[in-house]
């Protein structure tokens, strides 16, 4: 993503539309993960069972896949709350390996709403309820509301 400048006009901002081709949640993306998300109060959740095609080293899920789902669950939370934003900064911490064919549970929430900048956090847990990865993101708001 190119850096958004403070003096950028609204007409210069990207229009954020869902064409159902998102790699993580897009229903029309044949190569995508097709994950579904649930919003309960202020917590977004999803589940994912990575397959061999998602691995890096043998039977270990590629960190980029885990990062992608963590990024998506944070932005999807904002989107469902009618906050249209882009990730400006993403920090991931991997705590344990994630394994192929092991169900992963993801959650996200808003940490702080600073107007044009929203701080979000997310985590992934394995089937043993162990946290395997955490994330924090700084999201730049493009538009709030309908």
- Give the pLDDT confidence score for residue 11 in this predicted structure: 55
Which domains occur in the chain, in start order? 32-144 (3.10.129.10)
By CB neighbour count within 10 A (0-12 exposed, 13-18 middle, 19+ buried), where does 118 fall? buried
- Say if residues 99 and 55 touch (Cβ distance below 8 Å): no
pLDDT for 18: 66
Q: What pLDDT shows up at residue 6?
A: 53
Task: Give the residue with greater pLDDT, 127 vs 2.
Answer: 127
How far apart are alpha carbons 143 and 125 in whole angstroms? 31
Whole-number average pLDDT of the chain: 87
In the chain, the percentage of residues whose pLDDT exceeds 70 is 81
Q: Looking at residue 14, what DSSP letter applies?
A: P
Between residues 29 and 4, the one the model is more confident about = 29
What pLDDT, on a 0 to 100 scale, did the predictor assign at position 31?
Answer: 77
Number of H helices, E strands in the chain: 1, 6
Return the pLDDT at 12.
63
How much is the average pLDDT of 28-54?
88
Give the mean model confidence (pLDDT) for residues 39-64.
Answer: 95
Residues pairing with 145 in the sheet: none
Please, what is the Cα angle at 62 between 107 and 140, to 5 degrees?
Answer: 50
pLDDT of residue 136: 98
Mean pLDDT of 59-64: 96
Mean pLDDT of 13-27: 67
pTM for this prediction? 0.85
What's the average model confidence in pLDDT over 51-57? Answer: 94
Partners of residue 104 on adjacent β-strands: 48
Least confident of 25-29, 32-36, 83-87, 125-129: 25-29
Nearest to 105 by CA among 51, 37, 42: 37
């Amino acid at each position: 993503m190119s850096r958004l400048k403070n003096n950028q006009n609204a007409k210069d901002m990207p229009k954020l539309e869902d064409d159902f081709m998102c790699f993580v949640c897009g229903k029309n993306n044949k190569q995508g993960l097709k994950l579904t998300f649930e919003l309960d109060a202020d917590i977004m959740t999803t589940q994912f069972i990575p397959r061999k095609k998602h691995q890096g080293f043998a039977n270990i899920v590629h960190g980029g896949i885990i990062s992608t789902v963590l990024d998506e669950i944070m932005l999807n939370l904002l989107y469902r709350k009618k906050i249209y934003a882009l990730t400006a900064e993403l920090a991931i911490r991997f705590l344990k390996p994630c394994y192929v064919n092991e169900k992963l549970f993801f959650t996200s929430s808003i940490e702080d709403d600073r107007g044009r900048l929203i701080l979000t956090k997310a985590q992934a847990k394995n089937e043993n309820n162990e946290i395997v990865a955490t994330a924090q993101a700084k999201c730049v708001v493009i538009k709030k509301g309908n």
